[in-house]
Amino acid sequence: MTSVMGKYILIYFTILIMMLLITLILTFLLLIIFYQDWKSRAVWWPLFPMVFLIQCYRSIHVLGFNDFLLFLAMNLGILLMQLTVLYFYFAIKQKEMKIPLFKQYLGWGDVLLFLFLTTAFSPLNFVLFVMSGLILSLFLFLIIRKKSKTIPLAGILAAEYVIFIWVTKFYLDLNPYVELIPITP
């Protein structure tokens, strides 16, 4: 009986260490995205598929494949709606239907990071996280606007997610797939 229990304990700690290592790698890659976007407003594009795949693995590990696909589909729908509203906002503002949304207003790195974030949250938490990131970006832009006319949105969201990852590691009641703010009696 004790040898079976010992095997389960060994498997548990192996998975725990593996998930910690994966989280450290994800953190490192996200910090690279933050640094590159902050310094040059350009990010080496292979970083995005790497963080996307790592986060997919983390999410599937927590949620299971079916719930992961459900959340992903819902979050992609929300993201598509946001981008569509943004496109029409600028089209109406400029009184022209053909606008360079991804060249002039939103970088491809920003869009790729939004795609990455669709794998990290439940739909409600995705909306709350993106909104908080956009508000943070606005405040930072107001501070740095004399130095730069652009916002390192992908970098800011990457840094915000790194903080979120480690807060959830140490504050166990916080689950990005269930609730952003824990409800305790």
3-state secondary structure of 95: coil
Q: What percent of the chain has pLDDT over 70?
A: 92
Residue, of 176 and 155, whose pLDDT is higher? 155
- Give the helix ranges, DSSP H, for 41-64: 47-63
**How far is Cα 119 from Cα 134, in angstroms, rounded to an integer?**
18
33 touches 47 (CB < 8 A) = yes
Smallest Cα–Cα separation from 144: which of 31, 35, 38, 33? 38
pTM given for the model:
0.85
Maximum mean pLDDT: which of 3-7, 75-79, 171-175: 75-79
CA 113 to CA 102: how far, in whole Å?
13
